[in-house]
C-alpha cells in the first residue's frame, strides 16, 4: 500500500511538473531497491494522470473530438472546404495540430523503445538527462512571451520534442513547453498544447503496454492499483493547475534549481 501511494504520488507530481516522471520513477526504484512496478501498476498510474488532463481540459478535448470528426467529413469535399472549416472552427484546428504532433511522437517513441530500457537502468544516464532538462528550464527564463499561434510546423516540432522526452530524465511537459515557447507560442498556449497533445501519446503508450493476461492476474491486488491510480489523479490535477499558473507567471525556470543539482548529484553519487 505504501509503495502504491508513493508511486501514484510520484507519477502525479512528476508527470506534469517539469521534473521527469520516468526519471524519478527510475531513481526511486534504484535507490529504494524496489523491483520495477508491475505493468498493470504503470498502466494505472499513467491513466490516473490522463484523467487529470481530461478533468482540466475536458472542454477543449471534447471540442477537438467533435471538430476532428467534422474535419474528416469535410475533407472529402476538397481542400478548400477543409481550409474554410479550419479558419472558423477552433476545435477542428486543434484536432489537426494534435494529429500532426502525434505522428513524430509515435515514430520517435517506437525508435527509442530499446534505448529507453537501457537508459532507465543507468543512474548516470538518468542524471545526465535530468541536468540537461534543468539547463533547458533555466533557459526558459530568457525566452520572451510569444505572440504566435499554432501552425503545422510548430505542432510538428512540439511532437518531435515530446517523442524525445520518453528518455528517462527529460521532462515531457518541460521539454514541450520550452520548445513551444522558443517557437514563439504564448506561454499559456505552449502549456495548454503540451498537456492536450499528451493525451493521444499516453493512450497510445497504454495500448502498447496493455496485457490482458496481466490484468486478469492482477485481480487480487485491485485495491492497490485503485489507490495508485486515484493518487496519481488527485496529485496530478493539483500539479497541473500549479504548473499552468507558474508558466503564466514565467516561473518555469524555478524548477531548474531542483533539476540541475539533482542531475549532478545523481551522476556523482548514485551507483
pLDDT digits (tens, 9 = 90+) for 166-223: 999 999 999 999 999 999 999 999 999 999 999 998 888 777 766 555 555 555 577 8
Residue 171, CB-side half-sphere exposure with 13 Å CA sphere? 35
C-alpha angle 53/54/56, rounded to 5°? 65
**Average pLDDT for 232-240:** 95
* pLDDT confidence band for 257 (50 / 70 / 90): very high
Residue 185, strand partner residues: 148
Read off the pLDDT of each residue in 34-51 and give the average, rounded to a whole number.
Answer: 78
Question: In Å, what is the CA distance from 178 to each residue of 94, 122, 187, 233, 257?
Answer: 19, 26, 9, 24, 16
Q: Domain count of the chain?
A: 1
Residue 68 lies in a domain: no
CA 241 distance to own-chain centroid: 14
More confident residue, 222 or 77: 77
What is the chain's Cα-based Rg? 19
Give the span between the Cα atoms of 211 and 107, in whole angstroms: 22
Q: What's this model's pTM, rounded to 2 decimal places?
A: 0.90
87 within domain boundaries: no
Q: Would you place residue 4 in the very low, low, confident or very high pLDDT band (cuts 50, 70, 90)?
A: confident
C-alpha cell at 123: 543512474
Question: How many Å apart are CA 76 and CA 68, to the nearest integer?
Answer: 13
Are the C-beta atoms of residues 62 and 40 closer than 8 Å to each other? no
What band does 137 get if pLDDT is binned at 50, 70 and 90? very high
Q: Which residue has the cell 492499483?
A: 225
Residue 65 belongs to some domain of the structure: no
Structural domain span for residue 138:
2-54+101-269
What pLDDT band is residue 6 in, cutting at 50, 70 and 90? confident
- What is the per-residue pLDDT across 246-256, written as a single tens digit (0 to 9) for each? 999 889 999 99
How far CA 173 is from CA of 1, 91, 193, in Å, comes to 28, 22, 10
Does any domain span residue 113?
yes
Domain membership flag for residue 14: yes
Q: Is residue 96 part of a domain?
A: no
Task: Give the separation between CA 243 and CA 142, rounded to whole angstroms.
Answer: 18
Among residues of the chain, what percentage have pLDDT more than 70? 93
Amino acid at each position: 500500500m505504501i509503495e502504491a501511494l508513493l508511486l501514484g504520488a510520484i507519477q502525479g507530481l512528476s508527470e506534469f511538473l517539469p521534473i521527469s516522471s520516468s526519471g524519478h520513477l527510475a531513481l526511486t526504484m534504484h535507490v529504494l531497491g524496489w523491483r520495477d512496478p508491475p505493468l498493470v501498476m504503470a498502466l494505472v498510474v499513467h491513466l490516473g494522470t490522463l484523467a487529470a488532463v481530461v478533468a482540466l481540459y475536458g472542454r477543449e478535448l471534447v471540442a477537438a473530438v467533435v471538430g476532428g470528426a467534422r474535419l474528416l467529413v469535410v475533407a472529402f469535399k476538397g481542400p478548400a472546404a477543409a481550409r474554410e472549416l479550419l479558419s472558423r472552427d477552433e476545435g477542428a484546428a486543434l484536432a489537426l495540430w494534435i494529429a500532426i504532433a502525434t505522428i513524430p511522437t509515435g515514430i520517435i517513441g517506437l525508435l527509442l523503445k530499446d534505448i529507453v530500457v537501457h537508459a532507465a537502468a543507468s543512474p548516470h544516464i538518468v542524471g545526465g538527462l535530468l541536468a540537461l532538462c534543468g539547463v533547458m528550464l533555466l533557459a526558459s527564463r530568457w525566452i520572451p512571451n510569444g505572440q504566435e499561434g499554432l501552425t503545422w510546423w510548430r505542432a510538428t516540432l512540439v511532437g518531435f520534442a515530446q517523442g524525445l522526452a520518453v528518455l528517462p530524465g527529460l521532462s515531457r511537459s518541460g521539454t514541450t513547453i520550452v520548445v513551444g515557447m522558443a517557437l514563439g507560442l504564448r506561454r499559456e498556449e505552449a502549456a495548454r498544447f503540451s498537456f492536450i497533445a499528451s493525451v493521444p501519446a499516453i493512450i497510445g503508450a497504454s495500448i502498447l503496454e496493455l496485457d490482458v493476461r496481466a490484468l486478469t492476474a492482477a485481480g487480487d491486488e485491485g485495491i492497490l492499483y485503485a489507490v495508485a491510480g486515484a493518487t496519481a489523479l488527485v496529485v496530478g490535477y493539483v500539479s497541473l493547475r500549479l504548473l499552468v499558473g507558474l508558466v503564466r507567471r514565467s516561473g518555469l525556470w524555478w524548477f531548474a534549481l531542483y533539476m540541475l543539482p539533482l542531475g549532478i548529484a545523481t551522476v556523482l553519487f548514485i551507483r
